[in-house]
Amino acid sequence: MLRAEIKKRLDGFELDVAFEVDEGRVVLFGPSGAGKSLTLQAITGVMRPDAGRVEVNGRLLFDSASAVNVPPQRRRLGYVPQSYGLFPHLTVEENVAYGVQRLDGPQRKALVREMVDLVGLQGLERRRPRELSGGQQQRVALARALASRPELLVLDEPFSSIDTGLRGTLRRELLDLQDRSGVTTLVVTHDLDDAFFLGRRIVVIDDGRVLQSGSREDVFYRPATRRVAEFVATRNILRAKVLEADGQRLLLDWQGRVLEAEPAAAAGVAPGQDVELCIRPAQVMIVREDRLHGLPPPENPFSGTIIEEALQAEAYVLRVRLAGGGTPSDLEIELPDYVYQRLRLQRGKEITISLHRQAMHVIPVG
C-alpha cells in the first residue's frame, strides 16, 4: 500500500499531488514535464517535499507535520533508474551484491544466486555491463533492486532506452518477475503502451496535478476529463448535447445526429447540457454488408466514406466522413490488417459503421 501527498514548489513549477494505491502494479503516467519524476524523487527520498506525507505499507517515510524524513537508504525501496545505474567495472554478481553488503559472505552469495536465477541470468554472472544487451542490463538492475527485499519496487521509464522490437518481450518478463516476486511495483512512464500493458492501476499526472487515479479500464475507457482522454489516445472526442438522460435512456445530439448511449454513461449530466463524447478508434465497428438488415439491427448506424487510410505496423487507421446529420463529420477507426483485407476496404469506399452504446463515454463540459 502506497499513500502519497506531496507538495513542492520549484522555479516556475508547482507539484501538488495526492493518491493512494494498493498492491500490484501501479503506473504514474503523463507527458514529459508533468511532475512524474519529482513525485518519484519525493517517494524515494531524493527530494524533500515542502509539505505532505509518504507512507508505504503503514510505515511512515515522510511527514512534514511531525518532521519525519527517513533517509533514502533506509526506506526499503528498490529503485531502478532510466540508465539502470550499473557499475561498469563490476560483474553481474558484483552489481547485484552491491546493495546487500550488510550480509556476511555465505548469505550474500546465496542471495545473489537467488536473484540471478529469478531474473534468468544464469551463466552471465562474470560478465560486465558492456558485455550485456540492454535487456540483460535491465535484468541486472532489477535483481540488484530486489536483493534488498524492498517493500516497493520503483521503475523510472524502464523501457526508454530499449529498442521497440524488444519492448514486448521485456514487458512480459517484467510482469512475470513481478508476479513471482510479489513486490508492489510503481512504474513511471510517458509511453501509452507501457502504461496500458503494465498498470493494473494508473495515476495520470499533468502540470503537477493528479487528473485521474483508478483502474486501467477506468482510465482508458472512462477518462475523467478531455485532457485524460487525449493522453490515452481516445482520438474521437466529439462535442454533443444531451437530449434525454435518466436511468433508462441516454440520447445525445451530435451534429444533428441522434445517438443512444448506455444510461450508465450519463452520470452527472442533464438534458440540454453540452458534453464530450469519447469513442476509442478500435471500438468503432464496421458493419458487413450482409449483416445490414439482420437482427438485431446495428446500434447507432451511420453511412460514410473512407477519406484517409494509413498502415501502422499490423493495424490500419482509417478516417471516415459520415453522411447525414447537419454537419459533415469525421471519425477515426483502427482495425487489424486482416479485417481491412477481408472487408476489401480502400480509400473512397462507402461503408456503414456502428457506434455501440457501451463503447461511448460522456464527459460533462464546464
C-alpha–C-alpha distance, residues 215 and 222, integer Å: 10
* Predicted pLDDT of residue 148: 85
* Predicted pLDDT of residue 266: 66
* Predicted pLDDT of residue 247: 77
* Predicted pLDDT of residue 268: 77
pLDDT tens digit sequence for 130-182 = 999 888 888 898 889 888 889 999 989 887 767 776 777 778 888 887 788 88
Answer whether 56's CB lies under 8 Å from 1's CB: yes
Grid cell at residue 200: 493494473
- More confident site: 267 or 329: 329
Answer whether 251's CB lies under 8 Å from 276's CB: no
Asked whether the predicted pLDDT for residue 291 surpasses 80, the reply is: no
C-alpha–C-alpha distance, residues 17 and 39, integer Å: 8
Answer whether 52's CB lies under 8 Å from 38's CB: no
Angle at 184 between CA 179 and CA 189, to 5 degrees: 95
Asked whether the predicted pLDDT for residue 336 surpasses 70, the reply is: yes
pLDDT tens digit sequence for 40-68 = 999 999 999 999 999 999 999 999 999 99
* Predicted pLDDT of residue 84: 84
Query: Domains plus CATH for the chain?
Result: 2-228 (3.40.50.300), 234-364 (2.40.50.100)
Percent of the chain with pLDDT over 90: 60
Asked whether the predicted pLDDT for residue 185 surpasses 70, the reply is: yes
- For 19, the enclosing helix (H) or strand (E) is strand 13-21
Angle at 78 between CA 76 and CA 81, to 5 degrees: 140
* Predicted pLDDT of residue 180: 80
* Predicted pLDDT of residue 44: 94
The DSSP 8-state label assigned to residue 98 in this structure reads G
- The whole-chain average pLDDT of the chain stands at 90
* Predicted pLDDT of residue 42: 95
* Predicted pLDDT of residue 40: 92
Of 67-71, 153-157, 257-261, which gets the smallest average pLDDT? 153-157
* Predicted pLDDT of residue 236: 96
pLDDT tens digit sequence for 107-132 = 888 888 988 888 888 999 999 999 99
pLDDT tens digit sequence for 210-231 = 999 999 999 999 999 999 999 9
pLDDT tens digit sequence for 190-210 = 999 889 988 889 999 999 999
Amino acid (one-letter) located at 56: V
